[in-house]
Chain A
């Protein structure tokens, strides 16, 4: 049996409300809250980036996996906000957590699906017998241009998954990937903010790829939507994942647990997989989970997991995702603080 042996998420404590951003730019706050179904989003602290978020999530995954970090044979971090243009994020992580130096490390990038991409490769190494354990991480401190619709959703956080063969808490039953060249969203080198094709990001991009991947995954597995207790999809806003799930035949109650976007925002590479951690936090042995990510450019990775009886041993070993989302330590930022935290204004160089 090959699957997840340890999982962990990390959510920063800083938040900005959709209404704060809407009021800044003269938008109607209620139309954002109702239309995009976004109440607030996470913001990274001044001392947080994709590397620190990945390390915090990976520490939580190690607490649940209860393995010697030296046994991990590969570490992949998927993100579109790696702090260095040239110098890997993963090298900082392995040295901080005592993994390696006998380890394969790479940083992945594929817009919002780099996290599932990292998981897919980590899982494949273990399945092939090449190594006992491998870790896949998706984390981001996503960028959205001031005044752009993305600013309401682009948030921060991430999740880490250790794959192995012993003490598996969620077995991987099936995977599928669906990819095509689709210019729906991009960021050129040296540009601070991404650009997108507006409505083109919907039907020809998000819906086409998630539906293509999701339908193929159902066909490959011979399963039906009603066979699953939970389903989670990439969450660029509140409405898209609920609509795409419904189009695939899932019901609202199957999607509720993993639908964290209304209080988290779109964590890009950490989006659907942090929803997965929220599901694993409450899942019961035997539950089946359907996950399809989406990354612009564009592609989707799909996984079908079956939760094992080991899950109850690990759920309480690290902070739970919804507890981090609802922490009483939350700090709300005004728009001025937010642009400083996100470095949307230029400072003098010291």
Chain B
């Protein structure tokens, strides 16, 4: 469950796809302190264009409570055109179009609601470009 502080902290990467590019070329979304390749802490802030490729995916049939009425749905690991790797739910896509190597566009969607009275969580999902 996201509280107000955590939700606010994650807005730059969840809403705007703001990522880090380290001198080694490693691109990270979300933020991290240290480049896993060089061990250095310096980085350049970049904004991902929102396009990428499916590296792998799975179909979820038994989901956690927040997502149980959306099953079956797909979750994929995606490499963006800038080289960032991220995990995202797939939306608005027929299962037969979800393939390793398929091109996707990241779209802004509702991820989950924290019950009827909590924060509504927004962020990115991936839609296969058909």
Contacts and interface: CB of A to CB of B under 8 A. Distances in A.
Interface residues of B, number: 24
Contact of B110 (A13, A48, A349): A48
Interface string B60-96: 0000011011100000000000000000010110100
Contact of A55 (B69, B70, B108, B130): B108
Nearest to B12: A95
Mostly, the A contact residues are loop
B69 A96 contact: no
Interface in B81-124: 89, 91-92, 94, 107-111, 115-116, 120, 122
A51 B89 CA distance: 19
Contact of A46 (B70, B94, B130): B70
Contact of B15 (A95, A340, A350): A95
Contact of A45 (B47, B66, B91): B91
Contacts of B125: 47
Contacts of B94: 329
Given A95-B11, A340-B69, A350-B65, A48 B115 contact: no
Contacts, number: 54
Given A95-B11, A96-B15, A52 B109 contact: yes
Contacts of B66: 350
Contacts of A56: 107-108
A52 B121 CA distance: 11
A132 interface: no
A45 B34 CA distance: 38
A347 B15 contact: no
Given A47-B91, A47-B111, A347 B69 contact: yes
A84 interface: yes
A350 B70 CA distance: 14
B116 A349 contact: yes
A328 B93 CA distance: 12
A258 B61 CA distance: 42
Contact of B92 (A45, A55, A83, A96): A45
Contacts of A52: 108-110, 122
Contacts of B68: 350
24 contacts: A45-B91, A46-B70, A47-B91, A47-B110, A48-B109, A48-B110, A49-B110, A51-B120, A83-B110, A83-B120, A92-B15, A95-B11, A95-B15, A96-B15, A97-B16, A98-B16, A98-B47, A329-B92, A329-B94, A329-B130, A340-B69, A347-B69, A349-B116, A350-B66
Interface of B: 11, 15-16, 47, 65-66, 68-70, 89, 91-92, 94, 107-111, 115-116, 120, 122, 125, 130
Interface of A: 13, 45-49, 51-52, 55-56, 83-84, 92, 95-98, 328-329, 340, 347, 349-350
